[in-house]
Amino acid sequence: MTMNFKKLFAAILLAAFAASAATAAELKLEAQLIWATGDAQSPNPKHKPAEADVQKKLASLPIKWTHFFEESRKDFTVAADAAHVDLSDRCAVEVKAAGEKLEISLLGKGKVIWRGTQALPPGEILVLGGNAPGDSAWLVALKRAN
């Protein structure tokens, strides 16, 4: 019995170590570029409605727009170096690990327009946004990849 308990304890320790090693080594994230509007349809044929759980989270934010369209989506991994992700020809994000948090930079036309440090636990979303012409908005949504 004692032997089994020791084995079980060792297995648990090993699993925890592996998990933390994996977490420290790399983090899988997803970035989406979303267009927010009051119109039910987007004039851009390449747009598709944002996925349901993202829409639900966006609806919980104090922004007036009611319809969200996904323009692009990229999965990426944050390891030791910063990950650079192009979401459009003018918009990119760079993410690097900063201890248990993430240092996130938003780039517009190659220039950093915002930088912040943020924790991003599973199930949560970080949304960077700004006004766009035509009474609409652009949003960059960051979350953990499934």
Residue 121 binding another protein, by CB under 8 A? yes
Residue 133 binding another protein, by CB under 8 A? yes
Which runs of consecutive H residues, i.e. helices, occur in the chain?
2-25, 52-59
Residue 131 binding another protein, by CB under 8 A? yes
Q: Which is nearer to another protein, 81 or 89 (CB)?
A: 89
Residue 125 binding another protein, by CB under 8 A? yes
Residue of 12, 17, 90, 145 interacting with another protein (CB under 8 A):
90
Q: Which is nearer to another protein, 21 or 59 (CB)?
A: 59
Separation of alpha carbons 64 and 42, rounded Å:
17
Total Cβ atoms within 10 A of residue 88: 12
Residue 18 binding another protein, by CB under 8 A? no
Structure tokens at 85: 């992700």
Q: Is 129 exposed, middle or buried (0-12, 13-18, 19+ CB in 10 A)?
A: middle
Q: Which residue has the tokens 């915002």?
A: 114
What residues make contact with another protein under the rule CB under 8 A?
Answer: 43-45, 56-64, 89-90, 101, 106, 108, 113-119, 121, 123-136
